[in-house]
Amino acid sequence: MPIVTNATTEMQACIDACNACMEACQECYTACLNEPDVQARTHCIQVLRDCADICSMASQYMSRSSQFAQQLCNLCATICDACATECAMFKDTHCQKCADMCRKCADECRKMASKALAAK
């Protein structure tokens, strides 16, 4: 169970969404590497890596209440949207699950970024 401080309470839903998305992307990445049509998934695999990395970074920035968390979450939402689009093209369960998690994360990141902007 993560330690939640007053500074991160407002961001906890977004932190959780980023962590879940990072995990889904890592699982999907590994599964895609083992699919028979792996060559057709090259771009998707690259975006999965980017998405997992940005989700992890956004979670870390929010957890430490970084002044750059809002900007990073905006970028995270953009990359999550791109990843959802890529994964949605493949009908595997792992790709569809990942696309759903990416959409949820993008939504949470946009909400968090807009709250942070409103608070300024």
Task: Indicate the average pLDDT of the chain.
Answer: 92
Mean pLDDT of all residues in 91-101: 97
Of the two residues 79 and 114, the one the predictor is more confident about is 79
Query: pLDDT tier at 15 (50, 70, 90 boundaries)?
Result: very high
For residue 5, being part of any structural domain is answered with no
Whether the per-residue pLDDT at 64 is higher than 70: the answer is yes
For residue 112, being part of any structural domain is answered with yes
What CATH number is associated with residue 111? Answer: 1.20.1270.360
What is the C-alpha separation between 24 and 7, in angstroms, rounded?
26
Domains in the chain: how many in total? 1
Distances from the Cα of 29 to the Cαs of 24, 25, 32, 37, 59, in angstroms?
8, 6, 5, 13, 19
What distance lies between CA 15 and its chain's CA centroid?
10
For residue 7, being part of any structural domain is answered with no
pTM for the model stands at 0.90
Q: What is the DSSP string of the chain?
A: -----HHHHTTHHHHHHHHHHHHHHHHHHHHHHTSTTGGGGHHHHHHHHHHHHHHHHHHHHHHTT-TTHHHHHHHHHHHHHHHHHHHHTS-SHHHHHHHHHHHHHHHHHHHHHHHHHHH-
Domain of 42?
Answer: 12-119
Report pLDDT for 117.
Answer: 60
Backbone φ and ψ for 11, nearest 5 degrees, come out as -95, 0
For residue 22, being part of any structural domain is answered with yes
Whether the per-residue pLDDT at 39 is higher than 80: the answer is yes
Mean pLDDT of all residues in 22-51: 97
For residue 4, being part of any structural domain is answered with no
For residue 69, being part of any structural domain is answered with yes
Mean pLDDT of all residues in 42-56: 98
